[in-house]
Structure 1
């Protein structure tokens, strides 16, 4: 976070690694929000401002726009994996967390449509790894004989739903995502971020 001089003119003490970790987390959270509102081409200055840090802090953590988007993607995937690893996790519950990320993060939607749309082979390979992690998290809770159990059906359904997630507000995007799952006859648990 940006520190302003104290009333007596002294700067607050440097909080070192604690502040760095806090700033990085704030930047990722801000990027997710800004991307949901303005898309992936939103000004990085808006993200820094929302996080409460200067642009220099943003560039200390992320060398460019792609690095920041990759960090948001990684955090999204990590949360889906954590939801899948939680005690008592169910397919519909994990799907609810993943659907929340679809409605919140344009970067996450981009990941799920990574086949050829990516600019360079390295980014495409990274997106493929992340997509595979999402599939494993979901497939680990897919009930035997589920309609999406066939080889490509699960991620094809996810891609179809993510394609329907459009709209000017998070509520509209969620409404459309749930309607798409309903059309596929797939039950989804509460659409919410990972709790805890």
Structure 2
């Protein structure tokens, strides 16, 4: 005899390919949250659970741990670029978006320190350096002539990112804003870019 699930036990209908974009976005958001709480070594199963999908769905979108981290980093950089390109972009506002990503994404801080100091030329390092350079271009593009960060922009970003420590995103955000303040830089609202 076949048992049928009651309405309370039914799984959501499989929406197939129509769900792919939503699943991917949910996985990137979940990965950012899981990495912020547990670091880059967090189990991929935790990311899938947080996104509300099975591990098979995660692996359809991301073949390995590096691909998940790369997707989070790409989303971080894309939001900063969009904030800087917005018609009403201000240095304070873009720094607020950058600061949100620093407080929310553990991997993002490492990316901003990808300066080639190791001397190795690996594909991953080259990718990180490219993303870091995109962040710098976006930030420089919204700075007016003579802005206090013009000469030492990425040094200031590295210094602030070094202050982003603590057990919660709120603590990390507070420390980042305090670090900007110590550098004499005003930061706009700390939030993701809402485009």
TM-score by length of 1: 0.89
Give 1:156 deviation, angstroms: 1.0
Aligned to 1:161: 160
Structure 1: which 5+ runs fail to align?
Answer: none
Aligned to 1:41: 41
Matched, 1:148 2:135: no
Secondary structure of the residue that 2:110 maps to in structure 1? Answer: helix
Q: How many residues align?
A: 189
* Pair 1:29–1:10, CA change in 2 (3 A): closer
Aligned to 1:128: 129
Pick which of 156-165 and 107-116 moved more.
107-116
Aligned to 2:194: 195
Aligned to 2:94: 94
Aligned to 2:76: 76
What root-mean-square deviation, in Å, do the aligned CA atoms of Structure 1 and Structure 2 show? 2.1
TM-score by length of 2: 0.90
Q: Structure 1 CA distance, aligned partners of 2:34 and 2:12?
A: 29
Q: Structure 2 CA distance, aligned partners of 1:44 and 1:6?
A: 30
Structure 2: which 5+ runs fail to align?
Answer: none
Secondary structure of the residue that 1:140 maps to in structure 2? Answer: helix
| Structure-to-structure mapping, 1:47-62, within 5 angstroms | 47-62=47-62
Give 1:118 deviation, angstroms: 10
Q: 1:6·1:12 contact (CA, 8 Å) conserved in 2?
A: no
* Pair 1:65–1:120, CA change in 2 (3 A): farther
Q: Structure 2 CA distance, aligned partners of 1:70 and 1:6?
A: 40
